[in-house]
Amino acid sequence: MERYLIPGVVHACEVMRLLAKHGTGMTSQQIESAISLPRTTVFRLLRTLCAQQMLEKREKKYYCGADLMNIGLQVISADRLHQIAIPHVQRLALKTGHTAHLAVPHHGSALIVEVFDSPHPLKVASRPGMRALMHCSSTGKVFLAFLYYDNIDLIFAEQTMEKCTDNTITDVPQLRKELQKVMALGYAVDDQEYHPDVRCVAAPVRDNRGVVVAAIGITAPASSFTKTQIPHFAAQVKEAACAIYKDAYQLEANQRSKTG
C-alpha cells in the first residue's frame, strides 16, 4: 500500500465496489470473507457507510445506498450534459463571432471543459482543463451566485481573492453585491477583471432539477466586445444555456419513455 493512502478509506472503497457488483446484496460475513478484514473493522465500516447513506441495510444484507447511487447518477449526468452541450458551444461561437466555452464547478474553481474558438483572427481563448478563479471570471461568478452564495464568507476565509487587474473585486461585501446582480440578471460578466482588455459573459446551465451544473459563456477582446454589447451577447448566451437544458430534458424524457 502506498505511503500516503488512508487504509480506512481504501477499505470503504473496496466495500462499495464489492456491493456495486452484487445487486442482490451481501451479508457482513460475506463482505468479511471477500475483502479479508477483521469482523470489528467491517462492522465499523458498514455502520459508517450506512450512516452516510452510502450503503443501506435490509434485514441481514447490505446494498448500495441512495447517496452512493445519486453520486453515480450525477457523474453520468454531467458527462451526458457535456456531450449535449458541445454543438451548442460551437453554435454560440459561430453566432456571436467570439470564442465560446463550457465550464463546470471543480474544487473551488471553474473548470473549462469545452472551448470553440472564434472564427475571427482576433480572439482570446482559454483551453480545456484550465481552472479559472471564481471571483473574477464570468463562469466562476455564475457558480458563486447560484451554488455557493450562502458560503461566500467561508470560501474566501480559506483563500485570498487575488487581484488580477485594476477591475478585480477583492472584498466580500462588493462581491456579494456583484453576485446579487448576477442572480437578478441571470448572467455574469467579467469586465476586464481577469485579464486586461478581455471581456466575458456567462450564463448558468441547469439540470432537470433546476440545479446549476455548468456555465456557458463567451470571451473576446474588449475592443471587439464593447460594454454596450453586453446585454445583446448575454441574451445569446442565455439562449444557448436554455437550449442545452431543453435538449438534456428531452433526452431524459425519451429514455424514461423507453424504459417505462
Q: Tell me the pLDDT tens digit for each residue of 159-188.
A: 889 999 999 999 999 999 999 999 999 999
Triad 23, 24, 27: Cα angle to 5°: 115
- Tell me the pLDDT band of 3, cut-offs 50, 70 and 90: low
pTM confidence score: 0.70
Sequence-distant (≥ 6) Cβ neighbours of residue 156 within 8 angstroms = 135, 172, 175
Residue given cell 450562502 in the structure block: 150
Cell readout for 33 is 470473507
Low-confidence winner among 46-55, 70-79, 167-176, 235-244 (lowest mean pLDDT): 70-79
Task: Please indicate whether residue 64 or residue 96 has the higher confidence score (pLDDT).
Answer: 96
Residue ranges and CATH numbers for the domains of the chain are 7-64 (1.10.10.10), 75-256 (3.30.450.40)
pLDDT band at 130 (very low <50, low <70, confident <90, very high): confident
pLDDT band at 214; cut points 50, 70, 90: very high
> pLDDT category, 73, cuts 50, 70, 90?
very low
- In degrees and rounded to multiples of 5, residue 6 shows phi and psi of -95, 115
Q: Work out the widest C-alpha separation in the chain, in whole angstroms.
A: 69
The CA–CA distances, whole Å, from 125 to 18, 99, 130, 147 equal 44, 6, 10, 25
At residue 118 the predicted structure's pLDDT band, cuts being 50, 70 and 90, is confident
Residue 157 is predicted with a pLDDT of 86
| CA-closest candidate to residue 103, choices 72, 120, 127, 123 | 127
Distance of CA 222 to the CA centre of its chain: 27
